[in-house]
Amino acid sequence: MTEPTAAAAPRNHVSLPGAGRVEAVLGTVATYKAEASETGGHLVCAEITVPPGQGIPPHRHTQEDESFYVLAGRVVIEGDDCGGGVALGTGGFFYGPRGHVHGFRCEGEETARLLVLVSPGTGIGAMFTELAGLTAAGQEGGVDPAHIAAVCGRYGIAFGPG
């Protein structure tokens, strides 16, 4: 588990349309609109594109809260307090507090676009960058789920229920 790093005091931050660092992460593509270094560690904001059938399996954060706003498409949110899954279309919102299981997948034929907010943002960007490295290294044969779980575990995220 990583400890939050000391960060500079936050300043106003603007991200213009089309701007932001882009990473391919486990079948999704993230465009960072605000990174921890730009928010004093308080927040990471990314626009994520999720192709049909892709998503992130149920997991639990111990260090941060995560929210999703659906910009386009349709996702199904699964986890604590979601019954058998809740379908969210454009304009739908989900808040997943730390300690609660949640996951999502794109449903339908249209690629989903999500605005993802993670607070605090001290470790999540570094974790996504490590996962992007695994994604790039495993392009042909996929990524070993044990490697994914190990990376996420170092940042206080565990997969599966309870």
pLDDT tens digit sequence for 95-116? 999 999 999 999 989 999 999 9
Domain residues for the domain of 34 are 22-159
- Determine which helix (DSSP H) or strand (DSSP E) holds 152, and give its type and residue range: helix 145-154
The structure's pTM equals: 0.86
| Residue matched to tokens 């059938």 | 53
Cβ atoms of 63 and 5 closer than 8 Å: no
3-class DSSP assignment, residue 50: strand
CATH number at residue 99: 2.60.120.10
Q: Is residue 134 part of a domain?
A: yes
| Residue matched to tokens 């044969």 | 141
Q: How many domains does the chain have?
A: 1
Residue 89: the pLDDT is 97
Question: Rounded to 5, what percent of the chain is helix, strand, coil?
Answer: 15, 40, 45
Contacts 24+ apart (CB under 8 A), 3-11: 4/41, 4/63, 4/120, 4/122, 4/123, 5/41, 5/122, 7/36, 7/37, 7/39, 7/40, 7/41, 7/42, 7/122, 8/37, 8/40, 9/40, 10/38, 10/39, 10/40, 10/42, 11/38, 11/40
- Determine which helix (DSSP H) or strand (DSSP E) holds 87, and give its type and residue range: strand 86-89
Q: Is residue 55 part of a domain?
A: yes
Q: Is residue 5 part of a domain?
A: no
Q: Is residue 128 part of a domain?
A: yes
Q: Is residue 149 part of a domain?
A: yes
Q: How confident is the model at residue 8 (pLDDT cuts 50, 70, 90)?
A: low
Least confident window among 12-21, 39-48, 96-105, 137-146 = 137-146
